[in-house]
Amino acid sequence: MRYRLSGQHSEEFLSAIRRFESGLYERAGVQFLAILQKQPDNHDALYFLRLVERRLASDAALPAPTLIWQFDPEEAWERDWLHRLLAGVWNKNADKEVVDKTWSQLAPVMIVVDNRLVPGKVDYYRRAFEAGCRIILVHLSDEAFKDDTGAHRYCDGVIRNYHSELLADFSRIHFTPLGYKAGLAREGYIPKTASERKYLWSFAGDAKKLTRVPMLEAMTPLGDGFQHLTEGFNSSDALSVGAYRALLDETIVVPCPGGWSNLETFRVYEALEAGCIPIVEKRPGFDTFTTLLGPHPMPTIMTWAEGAALVGRLKSAGELEPLRRACSEWWEARKLTLAHAAGQFVKGALRLG
């Protein structure tokens, strides 16, 4: 997110930077403009001139944002979740939505949904910034934290999933939970009680990742479970969205072991959306879900032997339904606060530049 100057610069440019850093925006703007008249290709001067313009016009009214997808939204698991999170700043029934995929579409105010960020994509964001566009980047799918972040410097704000300790200190980044797969949510759904559900626990997915084999070994002896194992993430042998949702509707407890690179998975939020009890993992000194969500009622365990024992105790004590209800009620309230926080972040980023 920090902007690095390219090459050597004149004393005139450094003088303009000093005025910019001192908050003397009008004087700095005059100097940057004078530099650009002599050096039209000076991207550093243009970058700071655009910042000056934003600071001086921070109270100006902005048009409604255009939502621009740089990949097919039909392939985005996060599509419905993003629509919910952005509802306070972008209206899917009234505001414009564009599927670009060519990194060429621009709009005065743009919320760009992108993934697999590589250095070659930076030029699109630079061009948009230099054209005066206000940009919110929704940066998805960087689970292994390998994506290039060069585009971030040209954005007013960045919303991304998968919390990163490396990026957490940047004020222009807002972290949001993964959410649920598109098509899984049901508006107005009244979840079944624990006693109305067929399965004590269930798991559908790839069992080859890290702690998933220990999870199955611990949970299987509990009985009353269901397993549907697949070859990999989103593989052809996976359950359809409808079939998976039907399974969750009949499940009380959903064990949620982590993925390859991150403890957070879509499974957690899909279980919550269906009124189940997710069991999530933590590590010594590393509690992902409290960091992401704040205090929550989801059982959080260090080992799956601990998780299975917990389920056994809850069942014996008749405490599954109270906990299931607590998770469901907490999630319904938390979704509202998550959407509010995302909306406030976007509004603040676009106002302050």
pLDDT tens track for 193-234:
999 999 999 999 988 888 999 999 999 999 999 999 988 777
Q: Which of 49-58, 175-184, 254-263 has the highest mean pLDDT?
A: 175-184
pLDDT of residue 183 exceeding 80: yes
What confidence category does residue 352 fall into, taking pLDDT thresholds of 50, 70 and 90? very low
- Return mean pLDDT, the chain: 91
Lowest mean pLDDT among 47-61, 257-271, 274-288: 47-61
The stretch 253-274 carries a mean pLDDT of 93
pLDDT of residue 147 exceeding 80: yes
pLDDT of residue 154 exceeding 70: yes
pLDDT, tens digit (0-9, with 9 covering 90-100), for 62-85: 788 999 999 999 999 999 999 999
CA angle 301, 209, 243 (to 5 degrees): 90
What is the distance between the alpha carbons of residues 128 and 70, in angstroms, rounded to a whole number?
A: 14
What architecture is domain 66-176?
3-Layer(aba) Sandwich (3.40)
Predicted confidence at residue 58, as pLDDT, reads: 63
Tokens representing 79 are 């599509």
Predicted confidence at residue 5, as pLDDT, reads: 67
User: How many angstroms separate the most distant Cα atoms in the chain?
Assistant: 79
CA angle 317, 265, 263 (to 5 degrees): 80
The class of domain 194-334 in CATH terms is alpha beta
Predicted confidence at residue 63, as pLDDT, reads: 86
pLDDT of residue 289 exceeding 90: yes
Contact at 8 Å (CB) between 115 and 140?
A: yes
What confidence category does residue 6 fall into, taking pLDDT thresholds of 50, 70 and 90? low
What is the distance between the alpha carbons of residues 262 and 243, in angstroms, rounded to a whole number?
A: 26
What distances in angstroms separate CA 13 from CA 40, 41, 127, one per listed residue?
14, 14, 21
Q: Between 53 and 247, whose confidence is greater? A: 247
The stretch 140-168 carries a mean pLDDT of 88
Lowest mean pLDDT among 21-35, 103-117, 314-328: 21-35
User: Could you check whether 66-176 and 194-334 share the same CATH topology?
Assistant: yes
Q: What is the 3-state secondary structure (H, E, C) of the chain?
A: CCCCCCCCCCHHHHHHHHHHHCCCHHHHHHHHHHHHHHCCCCHHHHHHHHHHHHHHCCCCCCCCCEEEECCCHHHCCCHHHHHHHCCCCCCCCCCCEEECCCCCCCCCEEEEEEECCCHHHHHHHHHHHHCCCEEEEEEECCCCCCCCCHHHHHCCEEEECCCCCCCCCCCCEEECCCCCCCCCCCCCCCCCCHHHCCEEEEEEEECCCCCHHHHHHHHHHHCCEEEEEECCCCCCCCCCHHHHHHHHHCEEEEEECCCCCCCCCHHHHHHHHCCCEEEEECECCECHHHHHHCCCCCCEECCHHHHHHHHHHHHHCCCHHHHHHHHHHHHHHHHHHHHHHHHHHHHHHHHHC
Q: Which of 147-161, 256-270, 318-332 has the highest mean pLDDT?
A: 318-332
What confidence category does residue 300 fall into, taking pLDDT thresholds of 50, 70 and 90? very high
Smallest Cα–Cα separation from 85: which of 138, 149, 141?
138
pLDDT, tens digit (0-9, with 9 covering 90-100), for 255-264: 999 887 789 9
pLDDT of residue 179 exceeding 70: yes
pLDDT of residue 351 exceeding 60: yes
All structural domains of the chain with their residue ranges: 11-56, 66-176, 194-334
The stretch 315-322 carries a mean pLDDT of 97
pLDDT of residue 169 exceeding 70: no
Predicted confidence at residue 353, as pLDDT, reads: 43
pLDDT of residue 1 exceeding 60: no
